[in-house]
Amino acid sequence: MLEYVDGDRDEAIKKIQKGAAQNEPKKVRDFADTLRALKSIPGADQYIHPVLEVADLLSSNEQESRFSSAKTSGGAKTSMKREGSPSASSAGGSEQARAGTIVPSVDARAIACAPFGDTNITVDGAVARCVVVATGPMVLTDAQTSGACGNDLLIGAGVPANPRWTLFSTTLVPLNVHGAAFGVVDEEPLFVVQMAASAAALRGDVRCTITWAGAAR
């Protein structure tokens, strides 16, 4: 980290990414949170910016690893169910409730992404931020947006560049899904996205929340 702050940043980024890949995701998250906590120290403003950049780099590296894992280890499972309507997992076992509320553009775990970038589907948003919020196996039952964000929002399963399914909320039509059963297969990411015409147009206020709920299986 000191090399990033005071030395060769390109070389430091490589070392940070390598070190993050060699550690458990939870340890990487905890370390990133510890770095962010330093900003509360009096007088930290003069040096904290590059430290926070390292924290964001660690968080981004973790998200990229999860999307990459979905492309490699989960690719076969995703392609097998790409055709037809998404359905709940048929696996037995107990269910555990999952839920969350998030504004993707300002979430610490968010990374830049290109929704539908590996498909022929066009989207209006030139800039997007993606966040993995859960991992299958699970079923998404509810998703809701306010309709007042001004940015497009979506939630989906798989890889954002080529998702298996998505639910879309435009600036005019909010998302209001309840009691559904959208399946997220084993090790497949459930992700949320916020899109806008430019980085400056990405809004970070409460009107851009997307609230979701489901059950792990």
Predicted confidence (pLDDT) at residue 205 exceeds the cutoff of 50: yes
Mean pLDDT of 83-106: 67
Residue, of 63 and 19, whose pLDDT is higher: 19
What whole-number distance in Å separates Cα of residue 73 and Cα of residue 191? 17
Predicted confidence (pLDDT) at residue 86 exceeds the cutoff of 60: no
Nearest 5°: CA angle at 53, between 50 and 57?
145
CA distances from 98 to 21, 101, 129, 163, 207 (A): 27, 11, 22, 21, 22
In the prediction, which pLDDT does 204 show? 92
What whole-number distance in Å separates Cα of residue 44 and Cα of residue 39? 6
Work out the number of other CB atoms within 10 angstroms of the CB of residue 39: 13
What whole-number distance in Å separates Cα of residue 19 and Cα of residue 90? 38
**C-beta separation of 212 from 140 below 8 A:** yes
Residue, of 167 and 69, whose pLDDT is higher: 167
Predicted confidence (pLDDT) at residue 182 exceeds the cutoff of 90: yes
Residue from 112, 118, 129, 131 nearest 190 by CA: 131
